[in-house]
Amino acid sequence: MHCPGPTLVGPGQAGPKVFGVMERGSETGDMTAARSAIRRVVIVGGGTAGWMAAAALARFLPAGTSIALVESDAIGTVGVGEATIPQIRLFNQGLGIDEDDFIRATQGTFKLGIEFVGWSGAPDGVESRYIHAFGTIGRGLGLVPFHQHWLRHRSGGGARGLWDFSASALAAQHDRFARELGRPDLPSGVAWAFQFDAGLYAAYLRSYAEARGVVRHEGRVVAVGQDGERGDITGVTLDSGTEVSGDFFVDCSGFRGLLIEQTLHAGYDDWSALLPCDRALAVPSANVGATTPYTRATARETGWQWRIPLQHRTGNGLVYCSAFLDDARAADLLLGGLDGKPLADPRPLSFTTGRRRSAWVKNCVALGLAAGFMEPLESTSIHLIQAGIARLLQLFPQDCDSSIEAAEFNRQTTREWRAVRDFLVLHYHANGRDEPFWRACREAPIPDSLAHRIDLFRSTGRLFREGEELFAEPGWLQVLIGQGVTPRRYDPLADGLPAAQLDEFLSLARRHVEQVVGRMPTHDAFIAAHCAASDRMAA
């Protein structure tokens, strides 16, 4: 591969530091671009991953870097991931996207958490349910996290539930939402993400990226060129005969991994022994009732069903294991669990849970499904794309020899994916259901890293976040408690608060939550006032 010489940077507007780099054309960008030999970036594949990458690279790479995206209208995108976690707001803010405009354009709604139904079975005939709510749960005192005071309260016979102290949980329960709560001096504890049409989001980002110089090439890739000496990718040839050459490539080609696997042979770590579901069916349905500000994950006899409310429809799907459930029965379960009329036939998806052993090989980085797949149980699919883009921007190579950057990218990616994997495995391992699939999940071996975390929590309720892993203590706490993992003791430091002060402390925390939620309008009213799509009522 021939590396072109360095280029000069054209004029641009300086902007805030986002994802560890400066905005395209800023002061830092000028300094790095002068040394950079990477002048042509080619993204293979569109969809959510491709256009997220195109938008971010167009915003942040040094001016003078050309960005091309190759996709074919004849190749469909998976597009089942429509729910996100709060970090997506950082991505949109980094691009300078107006939140209300984005919501309108994507038929979006707001999301305060994920409600889990039936994962601990149905004691007394009533399905269990809990919510993994975003934001904080109470506030700690000194070295003692809030939940340790709550555990002490419960050990003494107190009746308050964990989610009584979560503003996001209470707002979700009452279908309420607001961004501005009138008390900037007092943290509300509320955090939110979005539920949106992934296809519309990709189209929205395409407009954004093309307006900033990204060139789209229509066509199927029929050949991939490689440098004979180094093995780097040099370009792709389309079915039209068009050749698109580049210095650096981003593989967003989906499960097939056209560049990262079929060309560069990265290898794949199969995690199906830990997460055995290998099929999904997706179907949209008509909206019924109020638009809930949360996603729902309902455990079924084999696997689980998602429900994601948008402005114009509701997204639904069933994730299941083909070894325990045939496709016809899966379709019956999915359609029987809808709360509105189906708007299409269920669309099937097959997958093997896992990840590429190396997401960066030679001069190619894989994002999205090309990098791997973990079921959307905790809405991590789009976040893992976002995290990969941020990591790529932080480590974007100066020249053709990117082995050092690739090693660090792969190290960080491996750590992040394994942490998310463990969090998902927890849901299956700590289930309380009695069907054969769920018994098998409960009895299957789990990673040592997860077993240690569960044992530590069972002992004294202690939780520790590993480095910069995605899910912090409140997330682990809610899933553990929600699925019946109860600590035997609480942290003895929590006894430092006298009993009367403990009661007052918890009462103040609860009143704060009630006051925050009491100021909120309904979710539908907020959308109507700020960001309703013009065709919201369309099917």
pLDDT at 82: 85
pLDDT digits (tens, 9 = 90+) for 483-524: 999 999 999 999 999 999 999 999 999 999 999 999 999 999
Whether the predicted pLDDT of 89 surpasses 60:
yes
| Distance separating alpha carbons of residues 42 and 233, to the nearest angstrom | 10
Q: Can you tell me the mean pLDDT for 121-133?
A: 85
| Confidence bin at 366 (pLDDT 50/70/90) | very high
Q: What is the pLDDT of residue 12?
A: 28
H helices, E strands: number in the chain: 15, 21
Q: How far apart are CA 195 and CA 325, in angstroms?
A: 29
pLDDT value at residue 126: 78
Residue 291 has pLDDT above 50, yes or no: yes
Residue 474 vs residues 165, 477, 492: alpha-carbon distances, Å: 12, 5, 20
What are the φ and ψ backbone dihedral angles of 213, each rounded to 5 degrees?
100, -5
In this prediction, residue 191 carries a pLDDT of 95
Contact between residue 266 and residue 361 where contact means Cβ atoms under 8 Å apart: yes
Beta-carbon count within 10 A of 120 CB: 19
Of 17, 111, 341, 362, the active-site residue reads 111
Q: Is the pLDDT of residue 77 over 90?
A: no
Query: Which residues are paired to 113 by β-bridges?
Result: 133
What ranges do the domains of the chain cover?
39-105+197-271+353-418, 136-191+422-525
Instruction: Note if 111 is an active site residue.
Output: yes
Residue type, 338: L
Average pLDDT over residues 253-278: 97
Architecture of domain 39-105+197-271+353-418: 3-Layer(bba) Sandwich (3.50)
Cβ 431 vs Cβ 441: under 8 Å: yes
Residue 532: alpha-carbon gap to chain centroid: 24
| C-alpha distances in Å from residue 224, one per residue of 231, 234, 242, 249, 259 | 11, 8, 12, 11, 8
Can you give the pLDDT at residue 537? 41
Three-state secondary structure readout of 159-178: CCCHHHHCHHHHHHHCCECC
pLDDT in tens, 188-227: 899 999 999 999 999 999 999 999 999 999 999 999 999 9
Buried b (16+ CB within 10 A) or exposed e, 280-302: bbbbbbebeeebbbbbbbbbbeb
> Distance between CA atoms of 258 and 249, rounded to whole angstroms?
11
- pLDDT tens digits, one per residue of 246-261: 999 999 999 999 999 9
> Which residue from 353, 376, 382 is spatially nearest to 269, judged by alpha carbons?
353
